[in-house]
Amino acid sequence: MSLRRSPIGCPIRSICLFFKRAKVLPLHKENIHRKSSRRTKTIYLIGEGTGETIDKIARASLAQFLCEDLKVKKFFQVRSKEQIRKISNGASEDGALIAFSIVEPSLRDFLIEETRSCGIKAIDVIGDFIVQLSMFLEEKPMEVPGRQHVLNEEYYRRIEAINFAVKHDDGKQPQGLRVADMIFVGLSRTGKTPLSTYLAHQGWKVANVPLHPDMTPPPELFQVDQHRIFALIINVETLVKVREARLRQVGLTPDARYADPVRISDEIDWCKAFYEQNPGWHVIDVSDKAIEEAAASILNIYQSKKRSKSRI
């Protein structure tokens, strides 16, 4: 039988993304002039694998610029000279800057030659770091692409953690709480689900339980080690903003009872009082924090608790 296959090794596919970010420039004359007189700049990101590394580096670096008229074109799974040639020609036409992460030597050298002959700049974003590591480790780099994604026992543990988080989301299967590394509790829209799946992708077994004045949490929540429970708290302004955003996302009007500031304030007061009754829980303020930032705070606490326990 013939099955259509995934396109590894097929002709290049590019993705055009406009990195969106908050615009902080005030709207005075000088800035309007500056914006309109400036041509759109283009950056090409090239990776030989999934493109995660180059994407992460580009996002972190570009966040340091306003770059209002910037176009980012991504090319991943680039594994042939033919692909490199086409991309270089495109970059030359666009007058683009190329940022790449390619470890396979002949492909990397070819890219450098091609871009040089096209007169465009290409930056090897982790090449220098690999050279420095090589000197420090006194070991030659393997120069083999895709070595990050080894399907070993650690990988399967991570997959298991993701399945666990989804199965134990929103208070489901409370009997599973006893085997969770961490448990998140909090009001609706305090980020329990995104936090759980984010940390699950890092290999942590996470469950979450919703709290509401009219609901009784499952008894299992109080039977587990209470120091593994992270109680999310948020201020009224942020929760109103988050719930309004939620209503917009699902196409409802923002005047619903769900985003009513008075009601939200009551919910938060109840929640704080409830947390005070459970002094073993770690209270985490998630107001105005992205899930990545809240996760970093939680991991800091979790790891330091674990270390202090192992010292006892």
Site for a second copy in 28-87 (CB under 8 A): 41, 43, 49-53, 56-57, 59-67, 70, 76-77
Residue 234: left (phi > 0), alpha (psi -120 to 50), or beta? beta
Residues numbered 262 to 281 that lie near a second copy (CB under 8 A) are 272-273, 275-276
Q: What is the closest distance, in whole angstroms, from the C-beta atom of residue 274 to a second copy in the complex?
A: 12
By residue count, the chain amounts to 312
**Cα–Cα distance between 279 and 274 in angstroms, integer?**
10
Binding-site string for a second copy from residue 229 to residue 268, where x marks contact by CB under 8 A and - marks none: ----x--------x--xx-xxx------------------
Examine residue 144 and tell whether it contacts a second copy (CB under 8 A). yes
**Cα–Cα distance between 161 and 157 in angstroms, integer?**
6
Q: Which is nearer to a second copy, 129 or 219 (CB)?
A: 129
Return the SS3 of 269: helix
Q: What is the closest distance, in whole angstroms, from the C-beta atom of residue 223 to a second copy in the complex?
A: 21
- Beta-ladder partners of 283: 231
Which residue from 27, 29, 119, 139 is in contact with a second copy, where contact means CB under 8 A? 139
Return the SS3 of 187: coil
First to last CA, the chain: 62
CA 158 to each of CA 165, 174, 192: distance values in angstroms, whole numbers, following the listed order: 11, 21, 19
**Cα–Cα distance between 29 and 298 in angstroms, integer?**
44
Residues numbered 154 to 173 that lie near a second copy (CB under 8 A) are 154-157, 159-160, 162-163, 165-166, 169-170
Examine residue 88 and tell whether it contacts a second copy (CB under 8 A). no
**Cα–Cα distance between 101 and 52 in angstroms, integer?**
10
Binding-site string for a second copy from residue 187 to residue 226, where x marks contact by CB under 8 A and - marks none: ----x-xx--xx-xx-------------------------
Examine residue 148 and tell whether it contacts a second copy (CB under 8 A). yes
Which residue from 4, 28, 257, 311 is in contact with a second copy, where contact means CB under 8 A? 4
Binding-site string for a second copy from residue 94 to residue 133, where x marks contact by CB under 8 A and - marks none: ---x-x-x-x-----------------x-x-xx-xxx-xx
Examine residue 293 and tell whether it contacts a second copy (CB under 8 A). yes
**Cα–Cα distance between 154 and 227 in angstroms, integer?**
25
Tokens 């399967």 belong to: 156
